[in-house]
């Protein structure tokens, strides 16, 4: 096996609960991420050959592999996140399915199965080694696959000095899943020409477009009186929330959109006759349309307030922007990744991310940061799995990128 430590490294990582917590006010949001970085990642970063390894208050573990050939003038960054998504991450007990036969995979004794009839992606992996959950937790391939792949690539480069490369900076960060991990990323300290998040899905993914994103928090103030005498007097805050929602385009919902189509997504609604609250996320790839979506929410708010008085209060907050706005100015990191994948016999899959990555924010901090595949499938739940062979190909791709030299 070319990378003998890859599988065990990945299994070690996923067994540690590093779930983030969006209700937390600390950075990182959970102590388990701090412990994972300081007790597991930083010692291993040193063991695999990284130098000047340190931990920042932002939650990032940083290290450098110095250039071994001065003719490589580019400095390249590699970034993955430590936290896992909002699903049970305690007691992760991975299953290893060698030489997968293409049939149903029972997930431990949980009663759940990975069934090709439900998950067509399984059909691509016949004959490969799959790592799955036992049905009671997520796996954590998002993004501990990326961390394991970066560590393995650095380890290989350190033990094979005949592979020439420039300076490589590595950053493992917190809280990507709750959208705040990169807020405190220190781009000046990281100091690279461009970077890659190793945080994508299946083999060949190469992504430099994300949604632009905003959140909308709406409070509806009602007026409660006895329902028997309510006519002309009661204003039901829950009904205001319903009326607001019904004015949004019916087809602009996540479950009805794909590709480059944006949406409004109602995340939560709660309340009483007296007061109700609704939370939305707004997503679109096009900057003009993104702004129009926010303006449409403002117009609904204004129209309802004209009718009912100042009873609807809208708070909009931009979260991140489409990183294409930055990366398309210089496609060098994309062109390098494409050339490397093609040389390795991997077909680049260049599609927009219907979501965001840490690269969405880091790109706007001055470091263009597209996203490459890490291998995970069905991420964020009990049906998550990853192919060991795809992870190995991700390591190949990382090594190819950092050792790439213009012809």
204-259: pLDDT as tens digits: 999 999 999 999 999 999 999 999 999 999 999 999 999 999 999 999 999 999 99
Report residue 356's pLDDT band, with 50, 70 and 90 as the boundaries: confident
**Distance (Å, rounded) from C-alpha 142 to C-alpha 81?**
8
pLDDT of 96 above 80: yes
Indicate the helix (H) or strand (E) that contains 334: helix 332-343
Taking the C-alpha atoms of residue 213 and residue 304, their distance in angstroms, rounded to an integer, is 24
Residue from 391, 395, 344 nearest 145 by CA = 391
Domains 5-209+322-403 and 212-320 share a fold: no
b/e per residue 283-305 (b: at least 16 CB within 10 A):
bbbeeeebeebbebbeebbeebe
Please state, for a pLDDT cut of 90, what percent of the chain lies above it: 97
Tell me, what DSSP letter sits at residue 78?
Answer: E
In this structure, what token pair is assigned to residue 16? 């540690």
Long-range contacts of 290-296 (CB under 8 A, 24+ apart): 290/212, 290/214, 290/262, 293/214, 293/262, 293/264, 294/214, 294/216, 296/248
- Residue 355 has a pLDDT of 86
- Answer whether residue 1 shows pLDDT above 80: no
Nearest to 151 by CA among 22, 11, 293, 339: 11
Question: Is 212-320 assigned to CATH 3.30.70.360?
Answer: yes
Q: Is pLDDT above 90 for 89?
A: yes
CA dihedral 39, 16, 319, 60 (to 10 degrees): 10
Going by pLDDT thresholds of 50, 70 and 90, the confidence category of residue 113 is very high
The string of pLDDT tens digits covering residues 134-163 is 999 999 999 999 999 999 999 999 999 999
Torsion of CA 70, 399, 361, 297, to 10 degrees: 150
Give the pLDDT band (50/70/90) at residue 295.
Answer: very high
User: What whole-number distance in Å separates Cα of residue 382 and Cα of residue 140?
Assistant: 10
Nearest-5° angle of CA 405, CA 52, CA 63?
55
Q: What is the CATH number of domain 5-209+322-403?
A: 3.40.630.10
Residues 36 and 55 sit within 8 Å (Cβ to Cβ) = no
Q: Give the confidence band of 104 by pLDDT, cuts at 50, 70, 90.
A: very high
pTM for the whole thing? 0.92
Domain limits of the chain?
5-209+322-403, 212-320
User: How many residues are present in the chain?
Assistant: 407
Q: Please report which confidence band the pLDDT of residue 168 belongs to, taking 50, 70 and 90 as the band edges.
A: very high
Coil, helix or strand at residue 199:
strand
* Average pLDDT estimate for 280-294: 97
Q: What pLDDT digit, counting tens, does each position of 329-351 carry?
A: 999 999 999 999 999 999 999 99
pLDDT in tens, 372-403: 999 999 999 999 999 999 999 999 999 999 99
Cβ atoms 171, 61 nearer than 8 A: yes
Instruction: Tell me how far apart the alpha carbons of residues 323 and 330 are, in angstroms, rounded to a whole number.
Output: 12
Residue numbers in the known binding site are 81, 142, 177, 199, 380
What are the catalytic residues?
A: 83, 176
What confidence category does residue 327 fall into, taking pLDDT thresholds of 50, 70 and 90? very high
Concatenating the DSSP letter of every residue in 34-52 gives HHIIIIIIHHHHHHTT-EE
The binding site for Zn(2+) consists of 81, 142, 177, 199, 380
Can you list the alpha helix ranges (DSSP code H) found in 160-270? 187-190, 237-246
- What mean pLDDT, rounded, does the chain reach? 97
95: pLDDT strictly greater than 90: yes
- Alpha-carbon distance of 118 to 139, in angstroms, equals 18
Using CA atoms, how far apart are residues 395 and 389, in angstroms rounded to an integer?
10
Structure tokens at 54: 């340190």
| Helices assigned H by DSSP within 123-165 | 141-159
pLDDT at 406 over 90: no
Q: Is residue 173 within 8 Å of 127, Cβ to Cβ?
A: no
For the stretch 18-29, pLDDT in tens is: 999 989 999 999
């Amino acid at each position: 096996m070319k990378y003998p430590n890859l599988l065990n490294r990945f299994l070690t990582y996923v067994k540690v609960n590093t779930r983030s917590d969006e209700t937390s006010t600390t950075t990182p949001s959970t102590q388990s991420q701090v412990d994972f970085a300081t007790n597991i990642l930083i010692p291993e970063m040193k063991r695999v050959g990284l130098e000047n390894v340190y931990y920042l208050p932002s939650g990032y573990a940083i290290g450098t592999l110095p250039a071994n050939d001065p003719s490589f003038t580019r400095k390249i960054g590699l970034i993955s996140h430590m936290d896992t998504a909002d699903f049970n991450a305690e007691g992760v007990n991975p299953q290893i399915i060698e030489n997968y036969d293409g049939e149903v995979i029972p997930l431990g004794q949980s009663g759940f199965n990975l069934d090709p009839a439900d998950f067509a992606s399984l059909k691509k992996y016949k004959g490969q080694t799959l790592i799955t959950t036992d049905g009671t937790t997520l796996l954590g391939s998002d993004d501990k696959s990326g961390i394991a792949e970066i560590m393995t690539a650095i380890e290989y480069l350190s033990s094979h000095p005949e592979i020439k490369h420039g300076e490589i900076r590595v950053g493992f960060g917190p809280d990507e899943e709750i959208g705040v991990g990169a807020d405190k990323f220190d781009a000046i300290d990281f100091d690279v020409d461009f970077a890659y998040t190793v945080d994508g899905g299946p083999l060949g993914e190469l992504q430099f477009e994300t949604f632009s994103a905003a959140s909308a928090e709406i409070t509806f103030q009602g007026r409660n009186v006895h329902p028997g005498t309510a006519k002309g007097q009661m204003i039901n805050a829950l009904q205001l929330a319903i009326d607001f929602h019904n004015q949004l385009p019916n087809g602009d919902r996540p479950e009805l959109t794909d590709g480059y189509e944006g949406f409004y997504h109602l995340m939560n609604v709660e309340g009483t006759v007296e007061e109700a609250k609704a939370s939305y996320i707004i997503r679109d790839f096009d900057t003009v349309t993104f702004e129009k979506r926010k303006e449409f929410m403002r117009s609904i708010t204004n129209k309802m307030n004209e009718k009912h008085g100042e009873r609807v209060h809208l708070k909009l907050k931009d979260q991140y922007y489409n990183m294409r706005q930055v990366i398309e100015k210089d496609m060098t990191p994309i062109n390098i990744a494409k050339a490397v994948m093609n040389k390795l016999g991997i077909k680049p899959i260049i599609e927009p991310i219907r979501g965001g990555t840490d690269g969405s924010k880091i790109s706007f901090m001055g470091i263009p940061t597209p996203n490459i595949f890490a291998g995970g499938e069905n991420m964020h739940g009990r049906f998550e799995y990853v192919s060991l062979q795809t992870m190995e190909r991700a390591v190949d791709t990382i090594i190819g990128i950092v050792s790439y030299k213009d012809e």
